[in-house]
Chain A
Amino acid sequence: MKLGRYVLALAAALLAVGGAGAQELVVGLSTPVTALDPHFHNLSPNNNVADHVFDKLVHKDAKEQLRPGLAESWKALDDTTWELKLRKGVKWHDGTEFTADDVIATIKRIPNVPNSPASFATYTRPITDIAAPDKLTLRLKTARPHPLLPNDLVAIRIVPKHIAETAKTEDFNSGKAMIGTGPYKFKEYVAGDRVVLERNEGYWGPKPHWKTVRLRMITNAPARVAALLAGDVQMIEAVPTADIARLQKEPRVTVSSAVSNRLIYLHMDSDRDKSPYVFDKSGKPLEKNPLKDVRVRKAISLAIDRDAIVSRIMEGQAQPAGQLLPDFFPGTSKKLVAPKVNQDAAKKLLAEAGYPNGFSITLHSPNNRYINDEKVAQAIAQFLTRAGIDTKLEAMPSNVFFSRAGKLEFSFFLAGWGAETGETSSPLRALIGTFSPATGMGQANRGRFSDDGVDALILTAMTNIDDTKRNLMLAAACDKAIGELQAIVPVHYEVSSWALRKGLAYTGRADQYTYAFEVRPAK
């Protein structure tokens, strides 16, 4: 009896997988791929597809920790010299052998891709010299100590030398130049519709389960869910939060979730003496900018009920945030936790700062960039209004939002940051370090927070190539910047979700990528 039921369940599982042919996997992606050239546009959907065809020297696991890729090992010989040992016997999809020359040619191509709207040169610029003592060894020189060089190498997809030297962006789109060493070979690309891939039988790494993979672009979220339920696709990414609960009950589907590296936070103008969107209660501009006062910034943090946002608005698809990245990432602080809401303490801090009756402010937010961004901002505005800071919300499409934020037009806004390095120096440098083209810090610090102590902690940490020591210093910088000075107000970490037909398994990735080669039948 028991055995019979077991066999039935197994048969059902096999049928579910077998629906579209057990050897083919169809995936519904949420954003369109715009170019196949892996060095043309640094954009997640493009990188996601490129990673199926091209390998990197260094790979990342689901929790964003570094793993050997085309480089079997890497070490720093001194503060500014790195040596990488390359994998032996790796073959390109056209059968030729992979060598150090291919890497050198790739790194030379990256800053010189014509018309690139967002190049990968940011990652190769620190490399001042590159040499290959033998076919499988690379020596990289940097001008200054650059401890994140291995992390940066994760962004560089390696192409063969003859392609790096001659191929144009359109040669990749046509498929002619789509030769990598990755788990899948390129087969077909229909703009705005699909990418079809074929398994690379000679792959050096773990053999992917699926012989063919079709990556389909289904941008509308309900349509993506419907396609999964109809069995037209076996896996979708970016499951809408409103559908998660229903899909979890659905017998034909399993849901996989993982907390991501994306922090949703509030930035405050803590620089200008007079800020454009801060008013007194009667609507007159305030002469003094209250956001410069750390007590006001802390009051804002305490007034927000993160648990309510996570459970009600995000339907559990987020984690309350107390710092820049979830605890398991390197460089996070052990001391910082997500504050519990405390309206009384918030009011008290406001009174101490000289605003017993509060003030008025406008919160700006994008409305199509992050998961439920406008609704989250709406809730935050209500929490703050309850604490005495009358908050008006102005939400707008991200194309308008980011242009205006870049021109420092806002006083107070909601935004997000995905730490693609998988450690805290990325948000520390970008969001909190003093804006300065010389240090390269603060490129997204649109509140223009600035503190010499924090800067010093970050900059010293970034000259230390010892991972353990550096991460301790970064944690100290987080303690000072968030715990002591409240440079920004962390709200939550987004949780990303994937839904699959029953019988399939996928370990959700913190970098939010959807890799068909990591999808397997459930055990």
Chain B
Amino acid sequence: MTVYVLRRLAQTLLVLAITSLLVFFGLYVVGNPVEILVNPVADEVERARAAAALGLDKPIVEQYWVFLKGAFTGELGTSFVFGRSAIEVIVERMPATLELAFLAMLISVTLGVPLGLYAGLKPKSWVSKTIMAGSILGFSLPTFWVGLILILVFAVQLGWLPSTGRGPTVDVLGLQLSIVHWEGLKYALLPAINLALFKLSLIIRLTRAQVREQSLLDYIKFARAKGLPRSRVIGVHLLKNILIPLVTVVGLELGSVIAFAVVTETIFAWPGMGKLVIDSIFQLDRPVVVAYLLLIVFMFILINLVVDLLYSALDPRVRLGEQK
């Protein structure tokens, strides 16, 4: 087990090194940050000064070397635009993105699993058909459109919820969180629903398919024949077995919702990491983009690891670290 985790972490380092190389040189090909950052009225003297101040006057290979040396001491460079440590700039926005992602996942799991169960157990009822039709909409409608419609209906027409922005925050164990009280939660509801819609549909469909498949298997028939109450058959035997694929998907989706909530964050003016990284790409703020992607890659690797560990907890047949 320990060996397994260690081996996975070693792979992580390799992946991170390759990512940094790709992003670093990729952005170098896109364009010269000095052209974007410097005010158009600046003369040649000022351009040269800016290039030197940002370390952009050195050859690209040397710039990468400087970055690597910094990376080993945990310093991923100073943002061109903010003039502060790139990691610091990102971490500052992290609570906003994380709370939105968790709220969205909470909505999709708490609604998605029961709805999917129902649709799978009673596939012929009209309620199930409505759920399934609704999930198709959730899949196919583009996020930016749904977001704007949510704003128009709930903020502009009905005036129930604020249209954009993040509510007042409260200090929770050193983290600035907004969703722990109603004043802040009402700002987070619309963006969270917008983010949750796709995941919700995914979870509904996945749960339903699993339920349909597993219901026909012998162990369910056997449990029923044994005379177990229906609630125990569904709640313990069935649910436990459909959880394995669900955990994989929920894990990966949580990752993607944290990393790529860009569209929702932009529409709802939510000051999270997604919005930051888009702005940084447009301004060619390389240190922030590189640091962000390294962080995200690291997060995905970590989530995958946790998912694999959860497997073995959920299904004793799965044993880790056996492949030699």
Chains A and B bind each other: yes
Q: A115-B83, A122-B42, A430-B41 are in contact. Are A399 and B284 (CB under 8 A)?
A: yes
The reply to whether the CB of B72 lies closer than 8 angstroms to some CB of chain A is no
CB distance from A244 to the nearest CB of B (A): 18
B-side contacts of A190, CB under 8 Å: 271
Q: A191-B93, A223-B267 are in contact. Are A403 and B148 (CB under 8 A)?
A: no
CB distance from B150 to the nearest CB of A (A): 10
B-side contacts of A216, CB under 8 Å: 164-165, 269
C-alpha gap A34/B165 in the complex (Å): 17
The reply to whether the CB of B241 lies closer than 8 angstroms to some CB of chain A is no
A-side contacts of B33, CB under 8 Å: 117
Task: Give per-residue flags for A190-226: 1 if the beta carbon is below 8 A from chain B beta carbons, else 0.
Answer: 1111100000000000000000000011111011001
Asked if B155 contacts A118 (CB within 8 A), the reply is no
The reply to whether the CB of A32 lies closer than 8 angstroms to some CB of chain B is yes
A-side contacts of B37, CB under 8 Å: 41, 117-118
Asked if A117 contacts B50 (CB within 8 A), the reply is yes
Asked if B151 contacts A443 (CB within 8 A), the reply is no
Asked if B165 contacts A116 (CB within 8 A), the reply is no
Asked if B46 contacts A222 (CB within 8 A), the reply is no
The reply to whether the CB of B159 lies closer than 8 angstroms to some CB of chain A is yes
Asked if A192 contacts B148 (CB within 8 A), the reply is no
Asked if A191 contacts B266 (CB within 8 A), the reply is no
- Chain B's closest residue to A418 (CB) is B40
Asked if A223 contacts B151 (CB within 8 A), the reply is yes
Of A77-85, A227-235, A275-283, A323-331, the segment with at least 4 beta carbons within 8 Å of chain B is A227-235
CB distance from A55 to the nearest CB of B (A): 21
Q: A191-B271, A219-B275, A223-B267 are in contact. Are A230 and B50 (CB under 8 A)?
A: no
Q: A32-B279, A115-B83, A216-B165 are in contact. Are A122 and B271 (CB under 8 A)?
A: no
A: number of interface residues (CB 8 Å): 57
- The answer, among A117, A193, A230, for a CB contact under 8 Å with B156, is A230
Contacting A at CB under 8 A, from B41-79, are: 41-47, 49-50, 53-54, 78
- Chain A's closest residue to B84 (CB) is A170
Asked if B39 contacts A437 (CB within 8 A), the reply is no
CB distance from B110 to the nearest CB of A (A): 27
Contacting B at CB under 8 A, from A398-440, are: 398-400, 402-406, 417-418, 420, 426, 430, 437, 440
Contacting A at CB under 8 A, from B143-176, are: 147-148, 151-152, 155-156, 159, 162-166
- Chain B's closest residue to A115 (CB) is B83
Contact-residue size bin, chain B (C-beta under 8 Å from the other chain): 35 or more
Q: A116-B83, A430-B41, A440-B43 are in contact. Are A402 and B35 (CB under 8 A)?
A: yes
Asked if B45 contacts A232 (CB within 8 A), the reply is no
The reply to whether the CB of A23 lies closer than 8 angstroms to some CB of chain B is no
Q: A216-B165, A402-B35 are in contact. Are A35 and B40 (CB under 8 A)?
A: no
Q: A193-B165, A399-B30 are in contact. Are A230 and B159 (CB under 8 A)?
A: yes
A-side contacts of B198, CB under 8 Å: none
A-side contacts of B152, CB under 8 Å: 226
A-side contacts of B84, CB under 8 Å: 169-170, 173
- Chain B's closest residue to A229 (CB) is B156
The reply to whether the CB of B126 lies closer than 8 angstroms to some CB of chain A is no
B-side contacts of A42, CB under 8 Å: 39, 42
CB distance from A154 to the nearest CB of B (A): 12
CB distance from A490 to the nearest CB of B (A): 17
The reply to whether the CB of B31 lies closer than 8 angstroms to some CB of chain A is yes
Asked if A226 contacts B39 (CB within 8 A), the reply is no
Asked if A119 contacts B151 (CB within 8 A), the reply is no
Contacting A at CB under 8 A, from B255-291, are: 266-269, 271-272, 275-276, 279, 281-284
- Chain B's closest residue to A31 (CB) is B279
Asked if A191 contacts B89 (CB within 8 A), the reply is yes
C-alpha gap A417/B39 in the complex (Å): 11
The reply to whether the CB of A444 lies closer than 8 angstroms to some CB of chain B is yes
B-side contacts of A193, CB under 8 Å: 165-166, 269, 271
Contacting B at CB under 8 A, from A311-344, are: none
Contacting B at CB under 8 A, from A30-55, are: 32, 34-35, 37, 40-43
- The answer, among A34, A40, A118, A222, for a CB contact under 8 Å with B148, is A222
Asked if A232 contacts B162 (CB within 8 A), the reply is yes
C-alpha gap A244/B78 in the complex (Å): 40
Asked if B164 contacts A443 (CB within 8 A), the reply is no
The reply to whether the CB of B292 lies closer than 8 angstroms to some CB of chain A is no
The reply to whether the CB of A187 lies closer than 8 angstroms to some CB of chain B is no
- The answer, among B40, B50, B92, for a CB contact under 8 Å with A191, is B92
C-alpha gap A216/B156 in the complex (Å): 18
Asked if B269 contacts A223 (CB within 8 A), the reply is yes
- Chain A's closest residue to B273 (CB) is A192
Asked if A403 contacts B266 (CB within 8 A), the reply is no
Asked if B44 contacts A368 (CB within 8 A), the reply is no
B-side contacts of A220, CB under 8 Å: 266-267, 269
CB distance from A298 to the nearest CB of B (A): 26
The reply to whether the CB of B106 lies closer than 8 angstroms to some CB of chain A is no
- The answer, among A169, A192, A406, for a CB contact under 8 Å with B93, is A192
- The answer, among A230, A420, A443, for a CB contact under 8 Å with B162, is A230
Show 28 A/B contacts (Cβ-Cβ < 8 Å), sorted by A.
Answer: A34-B81, A41-B81, A115-B54, A115-B78, A116-B53, A117-B38, A118-B39, A118-B46, A119-B50, A170-B84, A190-B271, A191-B271, A192-B271, A192-B272, A217-B269, A217-B271, A218-B165, A223-B164, A223-B268, A227-B151, A227-B163, A230-B162, A397-B282, A403-B32, A403-B35, A418-B40, A430-B41, A440-B44
Top 3 nearest A-B pairs by Cβ distance?
A: A403-B31, A193-B271, A192-B271
Question: Can you name 4 extra interface pairs (CB under 8 A) apart from A192-B272, A223-B147, A430-B40?
Answer: A34-B82, A218-B164, A232-B164, A444-B40
**Residues of A bordering B, CB below 8 Å:** 32, 34-35, 37, 40-43, 114-119, 121-122, 125, 169-170, 173, 190-194, 216-220, 222-223, 226-227, 229-232, 368, 397-400, 402-406, 417-418, 420, 426, 430, 437, 440, 443-444
